[in-house]
Amino acid sequence: MFKSKPRINSRAYGALVRMFEQNQLDPGFSSLITELPNPDPILRKAGKNTAIYEEIARDAHIIGELRSLRSGLYSFNTELVPGGTDAASMKSYELAKQFFKRKPCKHTEWADMDWHNYSAILHGFSVTHLGKFIKRDDTWQPEYVETWRNSRFAFNSDHELLVKTRENPQGEEVDPRRWSCVRHMPSATNPYGIALLSSCFWPWMFKHGGFKFFVQFCERFGVPFPVGKYPIGAKDADIDSLLNGLAKLVQDGVAAIPDDTSIEVLESKLSGEPIPERLINFCNAEMSKALTSQTLATEQKNGGARAASETHAKRAGDNQRADRALVASYRNQIINTLHSVNFEGGEPPQFIFKDKREINTDTVSRVRESARLVPVSTDYVYKELGIPKPKPGEDILEVPDDGQGIASTAKSTEFAKSDSASTEISDEFDVFDHASNDTIEKIWHFAQASKDLDELKQKITSQFPTISESALAQVAEQAMQYEFMAGMNEANSKTVEIDDE
């Protein structure tokens, strides 16, 4: 049942409608009576504060990594899932859908809000402010949602978030219904979280220091160095004239010098990667590892193995999936506020991410194996796979049945006996056990011609592309056993002649 105002006392109601202005306090004005200073050891030893993060983020290499992180964030679909089927839960679900359809504030999109909260991995934490609550469509909703700078906040010794205001520059505790806060790897000693840009500070500092000397190096050794020779006893005026001619040679490519002098052009004989360039490449690699946990996607030197690059890409993808939890967390904090203010009972909906680029084959296998053991409802399958259930009257995609449905046994027609169409085979080992003699002989030859298990696996999967991993493992094991037994049989059948002499 909707209420005319939030179901809270007058003091809490006043907190919900209180106005906050982000620019009420000068960032340079500080009073640390109740504030726990940010214990970042890197910035403290360097004598810097978090303002340096903005400069670090403008580095060409780092901004390229940040754009990669941002594209990874938006490569996933988002979904709002009802918390329950009761009336309160469904009304809460509809309220959340309508709320997220509107812009959070006048000149901001929800994508910008998502990136702000995802950036908690870069700055340690991120805070979002819900404006005063107003009555809209018979429900109480924030008038706007906006991002605030981290310099407006601090944490006290109890790890509670404090907001600095003109009335209380020392910081005052916040109402959790008006603020959402997400943190990256906080700890008991550091409630501010760990900022990845802090880990980039020294590589960034050395890199830009190295740039200066690298430019000087290029100026010094990148251009041939002309040396003018003058005869002993030459006058200063002649020497100055020679120097002027050499300067013109460097700048204009031509010069006029006295005919009794000579010029020798010295070229650098250095080979290999210059030391300053090695320093810059090393710093770039360190910053890549801090931001994405990989280096091969951006800084690959002297080639690289495909397996290593795929491992790096997987590690980066796993980290990005974990970091998306920060975005889901702040959205769900807003949803929980909307639910608690407007509804009694029920469960709030949940904001989740769904990967739109790939099918989760692990989930498909788990659902299929579960359906073999116990009855599984179609609603559960749709929910686990993240696929909306068709509505009555909708067109259904027709896909030819290949015998690998959710409730049927996964099997390859390559392994099935030609005369056993009516025989039901329970698992992949039975499929292999009932395979034709031609198939077994083919596997036998594969095993004889293969140097190791990897080569055998490649041959089997190329011949039987639909075979599952478990069936492949059993096939390889069985074939190798056959090969081993054949070798033993051949050895035992040989006659050994012993010379008694």
Dihedral sign, Cα of residue 146, residue 149, residue 150, residue 154: negative
- The number of CA neighbours under 13 Å toward the Cβ of 301 is 11
CA 326 to chain CA centroid, nearest Å: 12
Break the chain down into helix, strand, coil percent, rounded to 5. Answer: 50, 10, 40
Q: What is the pLDDT of residue 430?
A: 46
Paired residues of 154 in beta bridges:
162
Q: Which two tokens stand for residue 471?
A: 């069936």
String of DSSP letters for 212-236: HHHHHHHHHHSS-EEEEE--TT--H
Q: Kindly state the average pLDDT of the residues 131-160.
A: 90
Determine contact, residues 160/220, Cβ cutoff 8 Å. no
Query: Residue for token digits 């039975």?
Result: 430
Q: Which two tokens stand for residue 401?
A: 């049945």
Burial 474-483 (b: 16+ CB within 10 A, else e): bbbebbeebb
* Residue 335: Cβ within 10 Å count: 22
Residue 293 has pLDDT above 70, yes or no: yes
Confidence of residue 169 (pLDDT cuts 50, 70, 90): confident
Confidence of residue 2 (pLDDT cuts 50, 70, 90): very low
Rg (C-alpha) for the chain, rounded Å, is 35
Residue 226 has pLDDT above 60, yes or no: yes
CA 351 to chain CA centroid, nearest Å: 19
State how far the Cα of 75 lies from the Cα of 121, in Å rounded to an integer.
18
Q: What is the pLDDT of residue 410?
A: 38
DSSP summary character for residue 494: S
Between 383 and 497, whose confidence is greater? 383
Paired residues of 148 in beta bridges:
127
Q: What is the pLDDT of residue 139?
A: 92
Dihedral sign, Cα of residue 112, residue 118, residue 123, residue 126: positive
Q: What is the mean pLDDT of the chain?
A: 74
Domain boundaries of the chain, sorted by first residue: 10-200+319-342, 359-393+401-408, 413-492
pTM exceeds 0.75, yes or no: no
Confidence of residue 428 (pLDDT cuts 50, 70, 90): very low
Residue 446 has pLDDT above 80, yes or no: no
- Least confident segment among 118-132, 333-347, 414-428: 414-428
In three-state form (DSSP H/G/I as H, E/B as E, the rest C), the secondary structure along 276-302 is: HHHHHHHHHHHHHHHHHCCCCCCCCCC
Q: What is the pLDDT of residue 239?
A: 77
Burial 301-314 (b: 16+ CB within 10 A, else e): eeeeeeeeeeebee
Determine contact, residues 183/59, Cβ cutoff 8 Å. no
Q: Kindly state the average pLDDT of the residues 71-94.
A: 88
Residue 218 has pLDDT above 50, yes or no: yes
State how far the Cα of 331 lies from the Cα of 338, in Å rounded to an integer.
11
From residue 107, alpha-carbon distances to 78, 147, 256 in Å are: 22, 12, 64
Q: Are strands 161-163 and 172-173 parallel, antiparallel or unpaired?
A: antiparallel
Angle at 205 between CA 203 and CA 208, to 5 degrees: 105
Question: 239-249: per-residue pLDDT in tens?
Answer: 777 777 777 76
How far is the first Cα of the chain from the last one, in angstroms, to the nearest whole number?
108
